[in-house]
Structure 1
Amino acid sequence: MTARTPGRRPGGPDTRGEILKAARESFASKGFATTSLRAVAREAGVDAALVHHYFASKDELFIESMALPIDPRQVAARILDGPTDQLGRRVITVFLAVWESPDGQQRMKALLRSVVSSDDVARTMREGIARLILQPVGQALGVPDAELRVALVASQLMGLAMIRYIVELEPIAATDVADLIDRMAPAIQHYLTA
């Protein structure tokens, strides 16, 4: 029998899962901004280097711990890839693509319900999504009121998600995705560039 050395335990069979659990709890109770990788490691009972081994950054840890069906960094990149006059169309197209996929819709419904029922989850998502999607898009706009413009777009998208996927209000719930894109893209474009 070997004596156990003091300090943090090494990685075990479900260390990654324990780190994710600790991260979810920390993000929910403290928010994105005040959660640190060291604090997550401490809560999981592992060395901070082990958290870095599994997750390259706090952004990555947030994405995985919240079980997002998409990587927000990729969303921002897809939205920004193309001409500015088509930005609104790309925003609504990417948004609806996530919601229309079977796995994405299930996870996003659960996430949206959590956001509206828990202040902690709402704060965590607000801080995380703001940092990973809204800030990059706002910075790319290069206008002084970019933060407001992007927030107005977010309000439109969240309203659409609530009405189409949670409340299932007709005729919006049954409207073809291509038709929704055609109808909403100009409004979103207006918020972003008008």
Structure 2
Amino acid sequence: MPNRPEAAPKRRRGRPRASESANRREQIVAAAADEFAERGYDGATMRGIASRAGVDPALLHHYFGTKSDLFGATVRAPIRPDLELPKILAGPREEIGASIVRFLLTALDDPVVQKRTVLIIRSAVGNKTTTPLMSGFLQHEVLRKVVDALDVPDAELRASLMGSQIAGLIVARYILKLPGVADAGIDELVDLVGPTLQRYLVN
């Protein structure tokens, strides 16, 4: 009898090829970018993004976890304050202000992280699409965590003041490169700015 050609090995179910996985991730990120741009951070939903991408919503959670994780991947966020801030707020209460400043400056002094962060800030400020998008993310995923952690009636004001202080520091040091602020060491800025955040958040 003639030899039959060998059948191609069957792939296991549920184990997509690496190329298929990469393509699906890119497909989801592209859909997420469109959904966030059209609906803002608040209005975009994982289900809506999945529908736009033509995939099951469970796949978004499999690849990215939460909406904030997917947003981070979409904008290629170099740092995730929404993940780090709860850890700091859960730490020693007397060190919260200093810890926040140290975390940000240590992360942003890395040239790659700094370059990407500056690019995101520049593109977000004054842009009718990206400004509300970034604002929505920061309000719901960063400042909201601070508000929930503070047991005071004016928690929202305090959290916003913290955000304004940090934003000003980042712009002054890494974008405007103001003399003194741009040249100061991390320890020096932690000592100077940390107490201000501590007063906003705790005292």
Shorter-chain TM-score: what band?
0.7 to 0.9
Matches within 5 A, 1:1-194: 12=20, 13-194=22-203
- Superposition deviation, residue 183 in structure 1: 0.6
After the TM superposition, which segments of 4 or more aligned residues of structure 1 sit over 4 Å from their partners?
none
Query: 1:104 and 1:172 mapped to 2: Cα distance?
Result: 18
SS in 2 for 1:78: helix
SS in 2 for 1:172: coil
Query: 1:48 and 1:82 mapped to 2: Cα distance?
Result: 35
171-180 or 48-57: bigger deviation: 48-57
Query: 2:86 and 2:133 mapped to 1: Cα distance?
Result: 21
TM-score (norm 1): 0.87
47-56 or 179-188: bigger deviation: 47-56
Aligned to 1:4: none
Aligned residues: 185
Query: 2:74 and 2:115 mapped to 1: Cα distance?
Result: 16
In structure 2, runs of 5+ residues without a counterpart are: 1-15
Query: 1:45 and 1:177 mapped to 2: Cα distance?
Result: 46
In structure 1, runs of 5+ residues without a counterpart are: 1-9
State the identity %.
Answer: 36
Partner deviation per Cα, 1:160-193 (whole Å, 9 max, x = no partner) = 1111111111121111111111111111111112
Query: 2:184 and 2:58 mapped to 1: Cα distance?
Result: 49
| CA-atom RMSD in angstroms | 1.9
Partner deviation per Cα, 1:95-125 (whole Å, 9 max, x = no partner) = 2122112221011101110111313212122
SS in 1 for 2:65: coil
- Superposition deviation, residue 94 in structure 1: 1.3
TM-score (norm 2): 0.83
| Change in 2 beyond 3 A, CA 1:66/1:81 | same
